[in-house]
Structure 1
Amino acid sequence: MAQSQPLKRLPVLVVEDEPILRLDAISMVEKAGFEAVEALSSADAIRLLEERLDIRLVYMDLDMPRSRKGIEIAAAIRKRWPPIEIILTAAYFTEASLQLPKRAEFYTKPIDPSEIVRAIRRLILSPKAAAI
């Protein structure tokens, strides 16, 4: 009896410096059926994006005091890796106060996990995302 290969789960880069929030985000991504790739800082995120060519979505907290400004990292990701989708979250910013990169989506903390999962699925699995 032949064993079948498990389906490859699409990776989502989770960038969050707060351990509890990072674990929650990783759990949310994995329960949704994706592979969570963990980054503790913006520098860690950039390193992972350079190493992993299969990442197509970044889920990132903008409130990371020990890192470069999250919005600057999001803009750098958009410029350097245009096909990557970006979901941004923050407790201390509003969408109106930010200049979001093109195609980036913003959600205020506390997040609604089901809303984020729907956004991840829409952005990663849509035919439009694959064509960019």
Structure 2
Amino acid sequence: MSHDHPLPVLVVEDEIFIRMVAVDSLEDRGYSILEAADAEEAIALLETNSAISLLFTDINMPGDTDGLGLAAEVARRWPHIEIIVTSGAVNMVDDDIPDSGRFLPKPYTAENLERLIQEQLTHASDRPAGK
């Protein structure tokens, strides 16, 4: 089943195979996708693309900023962007994620990822403007 999702989702994952699987499965479901290998690349994309609706990031990544640091930066600078973080090494609860973000443990299915994205985007559309 394909949906029309005009606002892009930013997928941030340093492991290329895992990123490709997530990107392919979301594109197959009608999402527009931007992708980055680390937080620095993700910030550069966010600074040049104001239409991003959701950040989906791994926690463990190379570089100075991990996925939680990226999520905190996104919550601070782009509060309209919904956040989902994932990890196979760390277990978290949603309350640990900035800005009403959600946690999705690895391994995850494409169906679970899409369901969580839909929930976050629905949450965003239900939120009063400016929140």
Tell me the TM-score range normalised by the shorter chain.
Answer: 0.7 to 0.9
Overall identity of the aligned pairs, in %: 34
Deviations 1:51-104 (A, max 9, x none): 0000010110111134512211111110111110001000110115x8321211
Residue in structure 1 matched with residue 55 of structure 2 by the alignment: 58
Kept after mapping to 2: 8 A contact 1:41/1:67 = no
The aligned residue for residue 35 of structure 1 is 32
User: Alpha-carbon deviations, 1:25-74, whole Å to 9, x = none?
Assistant: 10121112111101111000000000000001011011113451221111
Which 5+ residue runs of structure 1 have no aligned equivalent? 1-6
Q: Distance in 1 between matches of 2:77 and 2:43?
A: 10
1:118 to 115, 118, 131: 115
Instruction: Give the residue type in structure 1 aligned to 2:46.
Output: L
Q: Which runs of 5+ in 2 are unaligned?
A: none
The count of corresponding residues between Structure 1 and Structure 2 is 125
Paired position in structure 1 for 2:45: 48
Which residue of structure 2 lines up, in the alignment, with residue 4 of structure 1? none
Q: Which residue of 2 aligns with 1:3?
A: none
Deviations 1:83-129 (A, max 9, x none): 10001000110115x83212110011001221110111222245315
Question: 1:8 deviation in Å?
Answer: 6.8
Tell me the TM-score normalised to structure 1 length. Answer: 0.85
Which protein is bigger by CA-based radius of gyration? 1
Moved over 4 A (4+): none
What CA RMSD, in Å, does the superposition of the two structures yield over aligned residues?
A: 2.0
- TM-score when normalising by structure 2: 0.85
Structure 2 counterparts to residues 1-132 of structure 1, below 5 A: 9-96=6-93, 99-125=96-122, 127-128=125-126, 131=129, 132=131
